[in-house]
Chains A and B, each alone.
Chain A
Amino acid sequence: MTALLEVTDLCVDYSGLRAVDGLSISLAHGTIMGLIGPNGAGKTTTIDALCGFVPQVRGSILLDGHPIDSLPPHMRARAGLVRTFQSIELFVDLSVEENLLVATSTSRWWSPFVDAVAPRRHVHRDDVNLALDTVGLRSLATARPSDLSHGQRRLVGVARALASRPKLVLLDEPAAGLDPAETASLGQMLRNLPELGIAVLLVDHDMSLVLDVCDRLTVVDFGQVIASGVPMDVREDPSVISAYLGGGS
């Protein structure tokens, strides 16, 4: 069986700086992989590159065996690869529910004409409700993002990613700014995703969360993979310890 995500030799250049340098990842169906590393290691850039948000990307990206590296971001999302943002980035003009609905809507070039005369109904309400239930925010469906707490907003961001029933969701620091209780329930929620057929690539600095929920860990530093494997092994890896604690190798 092919891997869900197969990244080979990914490189990203930011005007002279190589932010990601020959990164390779293989992620199996139904797994949660943690992508960790010190600040500036290239984690967010990796997510940006996988989702098509940065130019000058080299290397190959296969999703479920299909190459996606020439697709624009929205096509990658429709192919089943979705992400959240470190800075959340909700649609502030839309309610919580609408934030999710818009992620599930489909559109053809003639859709505006249809909508002008007889507005289409939102067909994926079930998916939206399921996603809201998953993060436990069903009761806030009609609220505005500006009325929510920071933690709730983060969860809406995660729910929006889940609403389109993706194959793989890339979470960029979902626990940043959450209190311990919120983090614990986030962890609980993440562990349930593989059952829904959703694999996860998790970037976070909260080590207890990462060690708790991830099946595998990949550690990056200076844009390169320095270790990967099951959490227990990676924790003991000397190069990982030195990358985190600094000092000579």
Chain B
Amino acid sequence: MAHYLQLSLTGLGAGAVVAVLAIGLVLTFRASNVVNLAHAAMGTYIAYVYYGLRNFNVASTQKGGNLVLPVFGVPGVVHLIDRPTVVTALAIALVVAALVGALVYLLVFRALRNAPPLARLVASLGLFLYLQAVMELRAHDIGAGAATLPLTSLLPNGVVRLGSVVVPTASFVLAGLAVTVAVVLGAVFRYTRFGLSTRAAAESEKGAILIGVSPDRVGLLNWIIASVLAGGAMIFVAGITSQLNPTQSSLLVVPALAAALLARLDSFAMATFAGLAIGVTQSGVATFQSQAAWLPSWLPNDGLRQALPVLLILVAITIRGAHLPTRASLVDSRLPVAPVPRRPWLWIPLLSGAAVVALYTLDAQWRLAIVVSVIAALIALSCVVVTGYVGQISLALYAFAGLAAFATAKLELAGVGFPWAPLVAVILTVVVGILFGLPAVRVRGMTLAVATIAAAVAIEQLVFNSPALNGLSGVPNPQLFGSNLGFLAPGAANFRPAFGVVAVVVLAASMLAVANLRRSPTGLRWLAVRSNERAAAAAGINVGSTKLSAFAASSLFAGLGGALLAYELPALSPQQFLVVGALAVLALTYLGGIATLSGALIAGFLASGGVLTRIQGGAAADTTTQYALSGILLILVAAFYPDGLSMAVRRAITRLHSVWLRGVRSRGAT
């Protein structure tokens, strides 16, 4: 027992970091109603700044003191001073954090103050992708090739003894810092004019302006504080875990989001408590897993620690939710327009035919690119259904695709033949999709988005990371009626077009099905629920089951995409289905047009390794730069074309058409 206590208290340190991140999330939400997915990524960048400055060795000639810049097209680092001390480096890093917070607010979220919640979420996604890409590049610049930096702990090394329990002093120091931050911020928000102004501006911007509060200044200050807190937290967490990694560190935002949600994005005290509790539970669960011999061996080593606390919070939030939003809660659910597809029976077969012709005439690299795009479009289509048509932001779709891929591969390798293995895998995926859709019956909006990230993390940690699934390869080629439909073949025959045809047919059939659904009574119900849940219930629509039907349809398409991936990829590994991939799916689909069929196609076209990559010259193109650019593009689209590129094109065509008609008429009149 003492052993558990010791390990749990050790977890206080990690918990404190989660707590401070959660406080920052609460702060930006209270100030500008943004759930900032890039919060930890911003902090991670600050940690890079700090460790970039401190990246020197007394014995060597290396001087350190380099400032890592977060902008493209300029030198990666600027030398500031030689061998800065801890205090100097910390001070510079936190000043940079303040600047970053200010810039992020002024350049991104101020413009999106009145944008729909989905646009704000997507903008923070764009920021996330951008920062990650920058950090990947900068890690090379500072000379640490594998994106890791030498880390030196900032904190005392001693231990505290409580009877037989020994706990590092650092844990207590960090926990104390977190609590102090919460208490100070709580007091500031309750007692000062600044806190009052923030609350006023968040409640009613117009009202705040009328009484002489500048929402801009208030927003700016809050973003600066949040950014500084995030920076501090990430510097410390890198110090205690000796790990700094653009992706993994940025994803610390997930437990922090869970804690912030438990605090209803409102209470600093509750966020702190939840954050600390997550750290302590994780530590305890890790000990438990390492000692409980009866746990199945396929369970990944770190699985329970990562997944359990987040899942518990998911359950708590779901239970606390209500079936319908209340009269008082202003639900702003404006979403991009969802037009009825025009003449799908004409253009979908035509495009499919063109794709088939291309498959049989172009070379192997092109065939690969087309298949990659087709599968990506299928997964994007699942996003169109659940997010575009029904307004349920789901970030678990990519995990569903992964689930179907692993299940198909596992079944195939166990000897289950072609149509049956993917069939069973897709059915399994739909069942899981409905299960993870259940929270959507009771929670909505941002809360749901976070719940689905939590679900995706749980699937990743508990299933994908399992040693039993690592490196599945040798999936046999699918055979139907004696003909080989496989993708992989030795030599120049590789990337066989027959498989491409299967993929194109699956996508075309799925798109036609979605086009049918959109104009059917089911589609009307989906859009009604998307528009207004209360009114939908009053109109006799079962809101819960309507949402679940969308989750089922969506996981069906994601599952089909995943099953195709099992045959397309030479080997499956957990790295192919990380949560970041799910963020990219939502991002690309939003870029294309999240509520349109052609949006899914555009997403497939843009997908990394797909047709666009091929046009640009294939693998030679720098994918990191591409990520960074798509991050910026995403922010711009969220701000200026919230309906997505496909609607921008459609409007342009309509405008040209009417100009042309006017021209025809005027000529007829003269």
Contacts and interface: CB of A to CB of B under 8 A. Distances in A.
Given A48-B327, A105-B525, A112-B522, A53 B536 contact: no
Nearest to A48: B327
Interface stretch (A29-37, A75-83, A177-185): A75-83
Given A55-B322, A90-B535, A112-B549, A117 B513 contact: yes
A160 B537 CA distance: 12
A77 B524 contact: no
A107 B535 contact: no
B527 A53 contact: no
Interface in A97-135: 98, 101-103, 105-107, 109, 111-112, 115-120, 122
Nearest to A163: B539
A74 B524 contact: no
Contacts of B540: 74, 77-78, 82, 103, 164
Contacts of A120: 520-521
A122 B521 contact: yes
A108 to B, nearest CB: 10
Given A48-B327, A74-B537, A78-B540, A119 B520 contact: yes
Given A55-B322, A72-B323, A115-B521, A89 B534 contact: yes
A107 B338 CA distance: 21
A53 B539 contact: no
Nearest to A116: B513
A123 B549 CA distance: 21
B532 interface: yes
Contacts of A82: 538-540
Contacts, number: 126
Interface in B516-546: 516-517, 519-525, 527-528, 530-532, 534-543, 545-546
B454 interface: no
A102 B528 contact: yes
Contacts of A111: 521-522, 549
Given A48-B327, A112-B517, A119-B516, A77 B530 contact: no
B537 A94 contact: no
A76 to B, nearest CB: 9
A91 interface: yes
Contacts of A48: 327
A51 interface: yes
Contact of A73 (B326, B337, B537): B537
B488 interface: no
A53 B534 contact: yes
B122 interface: no
Which of B322, B536, B552 has most chain A Cβ within 10 Å?
B536
Which of A53, A55, A122, A160 has most chain B Cβ within 10 Å?
A53
A222 interface: no
B426 to A, nearest CB: 14
A160 B541 CA distance: 13
Given A55-B322, A93-B530, A105-B524, A74 B542 contact: yes
Given A109-B545, A115-B517, A94 B324 contact: no
B531 A94 contact: yes
Nearest to B535: A89
A103 to B, nearest CB: 4
Contact of A77 (B520, B537, B545): B537
B531 A91 contact: yes
Given A74-B540, A160-B539, A89 B532 contact: yes
A143 B552 CA distance: 32
B524 A85 contact: no
Contact of B527 (A54, A77, A91): A91
A92 interface: yes
Contact of B516 (A101, A117, A164): A117
B553 interface: yes
Which of A44, A51, A105, A111 has most chain B Cβ within 10 Å?
A105
Nearest to A157: B535
A119 B519 contact: yes
Contacts of B326: 54
A102 B335 CA distance: 19
Contact of A91 (B513, B528, B542): B528
A92 B335 CA distance: 10
A73 B545 contact: no
B449 to A, nearest CB: 20
Contacts of B521: 101-102, 105-107, 111, 115, 119-120, 122
Nearest to B523: A115
A52 B535 CA distance: 12
B305 to A, nearest CB: 37
B379 to A, nearest CB: 18
A115 B520 CA distance: 6
A53 B553 contact: no
Interface in B301-343: 322-324, 326-327, 335, 337-338
A161 B537 CA distance: 12
Given A74-B537, A107-B525, A164-B540, A93 B531 contact: yes
A44 B534 CA distance: 14
Contacts of B516: 115-119
B525 A73 contact: no
Contacts of B549: 109, 111-112
Given A112-B522, A115-B523, A119-B519, A77 B552 contact: no
A48 B322 CA distance: 15
Nearest to B548: A109
Nearest to A124: B521
A92 B542 contact: no
B607 to A, nearest CB: 25
Contacts of A89: 532, 534-535, 538
Nearest to B513: A116
A136 B68 CA distance: 67
Contacts of A117: 513, 516
Contacts of B324: 53, 73
Contacts of B536: 74, 91, 102
Given A90-B535, A91-B527, A115 B545 contact: no
Interface in A43-62: 44, 48, 51-55
Contacts of A51: 538
Contacts of A103: 539-541
Interface in A6-55: 44, 48, 51-55
A94 B526 CA distance: 11
A144 to B, nearest CB: 10
Nearest to B514: A116
B550 to A, nearest CB: 8
A146 B373 CA distance: 37
B539 A107 contact: no
Contacts of A106: 521
Contacts of B542: 72, 74, 107
A118 to B, nearest CB: 7
Which of A53, A91, A94, A161 has most chain B Cβ within 10 Å?
A91
Contacts of B543: 74
Contact of B538 (A44, A83, A115): A83
A74 B517 CA distance: 22
A14 B563 CA distance: 50
A180 B11 CA distance: 68
27 contacts: A44-B327, A51-B538, A53-B537, A74-B537, A82-B540, A83-B538, A85-B534, A89-B538, A91-B527, A93-B338, A93-B528, A93-B530, A98-B527, A103-B540, A103-B541, A105-B521, A105-B525, A106-B521, A107-B522, A107-B525, A112-B522, A115-B523, A116-B522, A117-B516, A119-B516, A119-B517, A122-B521
Interface of B: 322-324, 326-327, 335, 337-338, 513-514, 516-517, 519-525, 527-528, 530-532, 534-543, 545-546, 549, 552-553
The 10 closest A-B pairs by CB, nearest first: A115-B520, A119-B520, A77-B540, A103-B539, A105-B521, A91-B531, A73-B537, A116-B513, A89-B535, A115-B522
Given A72-B537, A89-B532, 6 more contacts: A53-B537, A90-B532, A92-B531, A109-B549, A116-B520, A164-B540
